[in-house]
Amino acid sequence: MNGRISTLLVALLFGLVMAGVAFANNGPATIVLEAGKKGNVTFEHHKHQEKIQCGECHHGPGHSAYKEGMEIQKCEACHHKGSSEVPKKLQKPMNAFHKNCKDCHKEHKADGAPTKCSGCHKK
């Protein structure tokens, strides 16, 4: 009897650890993007993961496609003034976010995606 319980507990513990590892690899549930006067954006990372591929936002040098296990850097690592890696228009992280997000939000407006500044930016 004790052997069965021990085996069950070990299997349960293993399952919980594996679930935790899977969750950890998917990043945080929310991310706060500081946006100054307009108000910060609390980005619902987990909701976006359900609808779009990781590579829509996360990419490597030269905008190479995201691959599982790729190190995720802050956007500012490449999207900054004077960067030779991105077009001048996308050197501000805000411009990169807006370019990446606005069209999709308009497309999914009926599903509740915000389309006005105040829908994402909260003061």
| Nearest Cα to Cα of residue 73 among 57, 89, 85 | 57
Query: What is the predicted pLDDT for the residue at 30?
Result: 93
Q: How many CB atoms lie within 10 A of CB 96?
A: 19
Query: What is the predicted pLDDT for the residue at 9?
Result: 43
Q: How many CB atoms lie within 10 A of CB 90?
A: 19
Binned average pLDDT, 10 residues per bin, the chain of 123 residues: 49 44 65 92 90 83 78 87 90 90 91 93 91
Buried-exposed string 16-55: b where 16+ CB fall within 10 A, e elsewhere = eeeeeeeeeeeeeeeeeeebeeeeebebeeeeeeeeeebe
Query: What is the predicted pLDDT for the residue at 58?
Result: 85
Residues across the chain: 123
DSSP H helices in the chain: 2-24, 45-51, 93-107, 117-120
Query: What is the predicted pLDDT for the residue at 25?
Result: 52
Query: What is the predicted pLDDT for the residue at 22?
Result: 42
Long-range contacts, stretch 59-62, CB < 8 angstroms, 24+ apart? 61/85
> Residue 108: which region, alpha, beta or left (left: phi > 0; alpha: psi -120 to 50)?
alpha
